[in-house]
């Protein structure tokens, strides 16, 4: 019996030691004290029905356990947690002290502060209650301590939240509270002011050059600002004070937007799609998976919103993309990598601090490490954008210089070609000289257009596509110049006999000859030979026409001098040209030498052409414009 009694006394003594909570000595000179580790005792109420009176009962009081972590947490989010702190005042304190709870995301917080008359003052607040119901219009939860006499007092805090919160309890004087609050809000003003300035500057750049990276950057840093405001409670204070329901979604919504726009900005700034298509696919999949994760949490399991560590995935992928493209010698990625290095360090420091491995750092650095990382990241991302613009500008200037040099070379070649043409034209006829003058005028027009293109290049330096457009314009002018050369060639045909090689420049193949015949034959209008209908469509053979009424198909050679011709059509063209040019005074032997065709064939076909020349009512002159081509519309009476 004695041994049993001794054991019972020993157990009671141990329970007394466990339930004994050492009070924290607070003097009138203590401006601030943060309660941590065993200075806070807690009790988990899994039933969520215990009242304050039941909590203070001796049985429940012994169930309070000392906090073993640096700061207590509500590990079971379906339970209600009671927290107790003991304070000892060495002399009377007046109503210039407050108790503050840091974490602004707690849904419901009730405080029971001793009132000095043996009772407790009851306060109720939280992120699920309208902001205007708070005792202090501040982002954190503050509770005024009434005037207390010298002695030891207990304060109780009831916390219930669907999110995991750090229950950081702080004792402060009002002077210290005002000082720290002004400093904190001043810092917030600087941070959010930077976001507004960066956003406004890049928004103007977007409207100026329509670069998508500017728009994605603006959306990214705006979402960063909204996320920070939601995390700090500033957004609840100033943006939606009457809508506390949005607090449970705000951080999740904006952190998702931060990840999505960060990846979109990465894709646009680094040109991932053009440079690394496989990496671009990875970024697209990360964006899709991040959005799907948010939709799942929103619609099926909102408790998963607390898993903010998933943001390490898009952050790491964006960081890896910058490093990979930097290794690929893409220079704009250097500031991007530096920016994400600071953000990554801030993220790691925050996680390390929350896990309790960096408590040696000042709390302001540990708590706002991600904010500092965001500030440095925004700064260096702006450098990355401007560095990219500068590199693109230099690249375009070099490209424009090369284009201008090429245009100058083209101008010189054109001038040399024009002079050569002028010399040849002067050796021939006065009519060709007039044509060369027109060619010079065309060249002057081209020079004027080139000068206009140079001016446009200086104004549209930000648009890469303009260089291609200038080349297209130059190609068009060259086409016009080629057309002028062809016109001069036509004039040469009329003034001097051309050999087959020169003649072949204008009529090089069967396709060209058929096209010329089509234009000559149906120059005025088309009329079906069978039914007289004037509407047609393309036939089966090149340049033939089929009547849309009776479907009669008329060949381009039909009813021309070349109908049933058995020699190559371009040689037939040249034979007609030679007979016309010599007005029939050319021998079949000469024709055979020039065409490489048997003399008998040349004699047979040339005689038919001469018959048309002699029987035609209108005398064809050899220098008449397109005179020889008029012969092709005459038909032969006998087959070739």
How much is the pLDDT for 15? Answer: 40
- Model pTM above 0.75: no
How much is the pLDDT for 469? Answer: 63
How much is the pLDDT for 603? Answer: 85
Give every residue of the chain whose pLDDT is below 50, as ranges.
Answer: 1-19, 495, 617-625, 637-640
CA–centroid distance for 478 within its chain: 37
How much is the pLDDT for 471? Answer: 65
Give CA–CA dist 238/190, Å, rounded: 16
Instruction: List C-alpha distances in Å: 477 to 422, 457, 473, 525, 618.
Output: 19, 18, 6, 31, 39
Half-sphere exposure of 33 (CA within 13 A, CB side): 19
Give CA–CA dist 169/106, Å, rounded: 13
E strand or H helix at 451, and its extent?
helix 430-459
Domain map (residue ranges) of the chain? 2-180, 188-393, 395-496, 501-633
Who contacts 387 (Cβ-Cβ below 8 Å, separation ≥6)? 331, 332, 334, 335
Q: What is the fold, at CATH topology level, of the domain defined by 188-393?
A: Rhopdopsin 7-helix transmembrane proteins (1.20.1070)
How much is the pLDDT for 55? Answer: 92
Percentages helix, strand, coil for the chain, rounded to the nearest 5? Answer: 60, 10, 30
Who contacts 133 (Cβ-Cβ below 8 Å, separation ≥6)? 125
Q: What is the fold, at CATH topology level, of the domain defined by 2-180?
A: Immunoglobulin-like (2.60.40)
């Amino acid at each position: 019996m004695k041994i049993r009694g001794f054991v019972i006394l020993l157990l009671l003594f141990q329970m007394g030691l466990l339930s004994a909570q050492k009070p924290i000595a607070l003097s009138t000179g203590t401006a601030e004290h943060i309660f941590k580790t065993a200075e806070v005792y807690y009790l988990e109420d899994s039933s969520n029905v215990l009242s304050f009176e039941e909590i203070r009962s001796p049985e429940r009081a012994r169930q309070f356990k000392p906090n073993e972590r640096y700061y207590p947490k509500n590990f079971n989010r379906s339970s209600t947690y009671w927290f107790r702190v003991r304070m000892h005042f060495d002399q009377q304190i007046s109503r210039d002290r407050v108790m503050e709870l840091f974490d602004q995301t707690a849904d419901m917080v009730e405080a029971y502060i001793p009132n000095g008359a043996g009772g407790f003052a009851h306060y109720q607040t939280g992120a699920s209650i309208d902001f205007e119901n708070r005792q202090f219009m501040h982002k954190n939860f503050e509770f005024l301590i009434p005037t207390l006499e010298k002695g030891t007092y207990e304060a109780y805090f009831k916390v219930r939240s669907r999110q995991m919160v750090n229950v950081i309890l702080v004792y402060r004087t009002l002077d210290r509270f005002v000082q720290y609050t002004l400093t904190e809000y001043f810092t917030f003003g600087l941070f959010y002011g930077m976001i507004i300035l960066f956003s406004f500057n890049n928004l103007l750049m977007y409207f100026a050059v329509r670069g998508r990276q500017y728009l994605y950057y603006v959306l990214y840093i705006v979402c960063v600002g909204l996320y920070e405001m939601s995390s700090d409670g500033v957004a609840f204070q100033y943006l939606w004070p009457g809508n506390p329901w949005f607090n449970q979604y705000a951080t999740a919504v904006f952190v998702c937007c931060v990840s999505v726009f960060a990846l979109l900005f990465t894709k646009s700034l680094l040109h991932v799609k053009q440079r690394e298509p496989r990496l671009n696919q990875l970024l697209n999949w990360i964006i899709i998976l991040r959005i799907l994760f948010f939709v799942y949490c929103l619609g099926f399991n909102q408790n998963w919103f607390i898993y903010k560590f998933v943001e390490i995935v898009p952050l790491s992928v964006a960081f890896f993309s910058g490093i990979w493209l930097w290794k690929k010698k893409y220079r704009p990625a250097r500031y991007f990598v530096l920016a994400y290095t600071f953000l990554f360090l801030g993220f790691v420091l925050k996680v390390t601090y929350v896990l309790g491995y960096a408590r040696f750092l000042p709390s302001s650095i540990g708590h706002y490490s991600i904010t500092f990382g965001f500030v440095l990241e925004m700064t260096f991302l702006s450098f990355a954008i401007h560095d990219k613009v500068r590199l693109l500008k230099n690249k375009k200037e070099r490209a424009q210089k090369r284009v201008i040099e090429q245009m100058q070379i083209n101008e010189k070649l054109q001038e040399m070609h024009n002079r050569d043409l002028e010399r040849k034209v002067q050796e021939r006829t006065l009519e060709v000289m007039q044509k060369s003058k027109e060619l010079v005028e065309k060249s002057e027009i081209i020079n004027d257009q080139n000068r206009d293109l140079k001016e446009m290049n200086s104004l549209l330096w930000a648009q890469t596509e303009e260089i291609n457009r200038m080349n297209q314009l130059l190609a068009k002018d060259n086409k016009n110049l080629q057309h002028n050369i062809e016109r001069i060639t036509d004039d040469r045909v009329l003034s001097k006999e051309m050999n087959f090689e020169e003649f072949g420049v204008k009529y090089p193949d069967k396709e060209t000859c058929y096209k010329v015949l089509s234009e000559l034959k149906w120059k005025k209008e088309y009329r079906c030979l069978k039914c007289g209908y004037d509407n047609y469509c393309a036939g089966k053979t090149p340049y033939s026409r089929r009547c849309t009424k009776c479907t009669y198909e008329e060949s381009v050679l039909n009813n021309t001098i070349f109908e049933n011709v058995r020699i190559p059509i371009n040689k037939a063209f040249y034979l007609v040209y030679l007979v016309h040019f010599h007005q029939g005074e050319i021998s079949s032997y000469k024709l055979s030498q020039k065409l490489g065709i048997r003399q008998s064939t040349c004699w047979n076909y040339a005689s038919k052409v001469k018959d048309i020349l002699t029987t035609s009512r209108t005398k064809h002159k050899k220098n008449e414009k397109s005179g020889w081509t008029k012969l092709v519309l005459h038909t032969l009476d006998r087959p070739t």
